[in-house]
Structures are given as structure tokens and as C-alpha cells.
Amino acid sequence: MDALQHSIAGALEAEQRKTQVNDAKLRAVAQRVDYDEFCKMVAGAHLKPVKPCSAESRDISRPFDQFVLPKYEPATDSVDRHSTRKVEHDAEPPAFSQPSSSHEFLRTWRRSCRAQAERLRYLRVLDIDTLPMLFRTEMDPLLLDAFVDTLHVAVCEREPSGDGSAEAAAIAQQAPLALWAVRLLAGLARVNRFDATLNFAAGPTTDKLKRIFAAAASHAPAEGVAGNGELDAAAVAALASKFGIRDVVEGRGVV
């Protein structure tokens, strides 16, 4: 009887471990991590979250939050304290920095970039030249939709104000923002398998891209006048064609 119980316990443990490893693999694939991160998540599939006993242990365990689920969250003492923390969070927007991997980017994007303003702030800190390395495997079409939506809101959905001077200042600020947006799109176009990503993008994304490129074309300098690192009207039109946008004319946009 003891041998039978021992055999059953071993079989249950093996089955549980198999399920844990399979779940870890699925999480790793869904998060599109690189091979090293994949191995770490699979190796830690059997680990269980523990309640930190001190602030020091909490800081030590924080880097491993993504490998062990569910993450431990300290309980709130009262509604008032929760409300106070929410007010403090709203008053102090999160400080963003250049992510080192697509997993780190997605974690910050999902946790801290709920509003359009936060998403735009996070996109502004990205090093455009490193985008192909950041999304080294491929880019999720849903993420491309979110990028384009954020750029469209920032560049094309500027609400007019009644003050003429304020309106002129807003238009002056719009030009560098539109040109930065197309530079970001140029970096995304260099990501591996981007053509497939663009093909699976949502329908409204194409219309928003048209408006972004139209705004950038209207602000872009003429060919031969652009400064170092700037995109002239011809470069904007050429980039638009890579996104399947054919009706952007040099120097102006046609939507």
C-alpha cells in the first residue's frame, strides 16, 4: 500500500510539473520573449510566490515577478489609503526609461500606459534606431494598432482653441511632432517581418496612417533643405509607400 501511494504521489507531482512547464511556455510565447528569457521562465515554472517578510526581501524578489505568477500584492488597509495612493499616482506620472527588451517594454506598456498621454510619453523615450533590436522577432499587429492610434491622436486630433495665438503656437508644435512620428514609423518599418505585421493590422490603422503621413508631408521641408536626421517631403512620401499609402504627394498630404 505504501508503495502504491508513493507511486501515485510521484505521478501526480510529475503531472503537476508538466502542467506548470507547459503554462510557462505558453506565457513565454504570448509575451514574445527571447530565448534566454524563455529558458528562465520554464526553469522557474515550479516556483511559488511568497509573501515578502521585509522591504529588503521585497526588493530582492522584484526582478523575478515576471517568472512567478500570481504576483504577491500587499493588501490595502482601508479605502482611504487606497484613494490617497491613487491621488498620488495621478499627481506624479510614471518616469519612463529606454527598455532593454520587448518583454520589459510590454510590461511597462500594459501596467503604466493606460491613457494616451502616458503612451505618447513612453514612445517619446524610445531610441528609434534600436527598435529592430527591441522587437527582434516580430511585432504584434495589435501593438502596431496601438502605436498608430497614439500617434494619430497626438498628430491629427488637435482640438482647435478659440485663442488665435494659442492656435498658432499649437500648430508650430505640431510640425516637429508629426516629423518625429514618421521617424518612429520608419524605425518600425525595419522590424523583422514587418510586412506581415502590417497585413494583419486593423482596418482603421490604414486610415490613421494616411492622416499621419499627410500631416508630416505638409510640414516636411523640401528635398535638399532638410537638416541632419530630418525627413524631407520626398522621404516622407517614400516611407508612406512602404506602408501601402500611395496618395501622399511630396510637400503636401492628400487624404
Tens digits of per-residue pLDDT, 112-158? 998 999 999 999 999 999 999 998 888 899 999 999 999 999 998 76
Task: Classify residue 238 by its DSSP letter.
Answer: H
Q: Could you tell me if 189 and 239 are in contact, meaning their C-beta atoms sit under 8 angstroms apart?
A: yes
Which residues constitute the domain of residue 146? 132-255
Q: Could you tell me if 220 and 159 are in contact, meaning their C-beta atoms sit under 8 angstroms apart?
A: no
Which residues are registered as beta bridge partners of 253? Answer: 248
32 found inside a domain: yes
Q: Select from 49, 73, 97 the last residue of a domain.
A: 73
Statement to judge: residues 69 and 136 lie in one domain: no
Tens digits of per-residue pLDDT, 157-187? 765 444 445 444 444 455 688 889 999 999 9
Cβ burial of 152 (10 Å; 0-12, 13-18, 19+) is buried
Question: 3-state class of 196 per DSSP?
Answer: helix
When divided into structural domains, the chain yields a total of 2
What type of residue sits at position 165?
S
Q: Which of 30, 24, 67 is nearest to 143 (CA)?
A: 30
Which residues are registered as beta bridge partners of 252? Answer: 249
108 found inside a domain: no
- pTM over 0.75, yes/no: no
